[in-house]
Amino acid sequence: MSKIGRQPIKIPAGVTVEISGQTVKVTGPKGNTERHMARGVSAEVKEGEILISVKGSSKSMMSVFGTTRALIANDVKGVSEGWSRQLELVGTGFRAETAGSTLTLTVGYSHPVKIEAPEKITFKVEKMIVTVDGIDKETVGQVAANIRGVRPPEPYKGKGIKYVDEIIRRKPGKAAAAKTAAA
């Protein structure tokens, strides 16, 4: 039995959960989300907690059981606190600007790169830090990965777009390699 799936999900104040059939609708101060559960997985609300249960005990059902619980827990946290991902621009002349729901990146190409925010996602730019906010963890992560993919950090000088908490492993260049070989 899944250890994660058995854990109850606490419902914070200001969040309401409606379960109808295989659909879980979570509403909170930041917005609302709707998630469809897999066949064989059911949920119920008891005493301010969401309990997930599964019919059967096959390996595939147990994996869906824990995943469903984690996804619903992410939705509950998203509508109450929200999800956020920060990216840092490293490089001379690299800039980011927002205009409405469009993020414009100037990262060393001959043209600026424009990224449109999907619905329920917002961009915030402060100096060289781009923050992606939203209520859906999957969408926030995917949009942040798309931004990073515009100019991934390179290992020689560390230039590019990286996550704030990401550590770039640096490589020595040709000159440094030649010095160690000659010595």
- Residues 93-134 have pLDDT tens digits of 999 999 999 999 999 999 999 999 999 999 999 999 999 999
Give the range of the structural domain holding residue 98, as residue numbers without chain letter: 83-163
Spatial separation of the C-alpha atoms in residues 138 and 134, rounded to whole Å: 10
Q: Are 138 and 120 in contact (CB under 8 A)?
A: no
Strand pairing of 95-99 and 83-90?
unpaired
Q: What's the CATH code of the domain at 118?
A: 3.90.930.12
Spatial separation of the C-alpha atoms in residues 180 and 13, rounded to whole Å: 61
What sign results for the dihedral spanned by CA atoms 11, 15, 18, 22? negative
Q: Dmax of the chain from CA atoms?
A: 72
pTM of the model: 0.87
Asked if residue 2 has pLDDT above 70, the reply is no
Residue 70 in domain? yes
Q: Of 28, 51, 80, which closes a domain?
A: 80
